[in-house]
Amino acid sequence: MRCSKCGTDNRAGRKFCAQCGTPLKAVCPSCGVEKFCGECGTAFAANAAPAATSSTQAASVAPNVRVSLEQPDASTLIGGERKTVTALFADIKGIPAQNAEDRRHPEAVKAGVPAQWYSGLRAVDPLATFEATDSWVNHPYKSGVALIGDAAATSDPSHGQGQSLTPRDARVLRDKLLAGDNWDTAAHSYAEEHDGYFANVLKFYRWFWEVLYDPGPNGEANRARALPRLFQDLSRMPDALVSGPEVPLDEMARRRFFGDE
* 156 and 109 within one domain: no
Q: Cα–Cα distance between 243 and 234 in angstroms, integer?
A: 15
| Contacts of residue 93, Cβ cutoff 8 Å, sequence gap at least 6 | none
DSSP string spanning the chain? -B-TTT--B--TT-SB-TTT-PBP--B-TTT--B-B-TTT-PBPHHHHSPPP--HHHHHHH-TTSPP--SPPPGGG-S-S----------PPTT---SSTTTT--HHHHHTT--GGGGTT------S-----S-EE-SS-EETTEE--GGGTEE--GGGTTHHHHHHHHHHHHHHHHHT-S-HHHHHHHHHHHHHHHHHHHHHHHHHHHHHHT--SHHHHHHHHHHHHHHHH-GGGS--HHHH-TTS--SHHHHHHHHT--
The reply to whether 67 falls in a domain is no
Question: Model confidence over 66-116: pLDDT tens digits?
Answer: 433 344 444 444 444 444 444 444 444 444 444 444 444 566 777 777 878
Model-level pTM?
0.51
State the total domains in the chain.
Answer: 3
- For residue 72, tell me if it sits in a domain: no
Q: Would residue 84 count as lying in a domain?
A: no
At 243 the pLDDT is 82
Q: Give the dihedral of Cα atoms 154, 158, 164, 166; nearest 10 deg.
A: 30
Confidence of residue 226 (pLDDT cuts 50, 70, 90): very high
Q: What is the pLDDT of residue 150?
A: 87
Return mean pLDDT, the chain: 73
Please state, in angstroms and rounded to a whole number, the distance separating the CA atoms of residues 223 and 218. Answer: 9
What would the pLDDT profile of 188-218 be if each residue is shown by its tens digit?
Answer: 999 999 999 999 988 998 999 899 889 999 9
Tell me the C-alpha distance between 140 and 48, whole Å. Answer: 76
Residues 98 and 187 placed together within one structural domain of the fold: no
Confidence of residue 119 (pLDDT cuts 50, 70, 90): confident
Please report whether residue 200 resides in a domain: yes
* Cα gap 173→147, rounded to integer Å: 10
pLDDT at site 156:
73
Q: Please, are residues 154 and 135 in contact by the beta-carbon 8 Å criterion?
A: yes
Least trusted range by pLDDT, from 28-42, 178-192, 237-251: 28-42
Is 57 among the domain residues?
no
CA angle 251, 252, 253 (to 5 degrees): 90
Residues 151 and 211 in one domain: yes
Query: What does the pLDDT look like over 155-195, one tens digit per residue?
Result: 877 666 777 889 999 999 999 999 999 999 999 999 999 99
Distance (Å, rounded) from C-alpha 9 to C-alpha 17?
8
CA dist., res. 209 & res. 13, Å (int): 47
On the 0-12 / 13-18 / 19+ scale of CB atoms within 10 A, 250 is exposed
Domain that holds residue 237: 135-258
Q: C-alpha angle 185/179/187, rounded to 5°?
A: 30
| Contacts for 78 with CB less than 8 Å, ≥ 6 apart | 2, 9, 29
**Domain membership flag for residue 71:** no
Of the candidates 100, 124, 148, which is a domain's last residue?
A: 124
Percentage of the chain with pLDDT > 90?
33
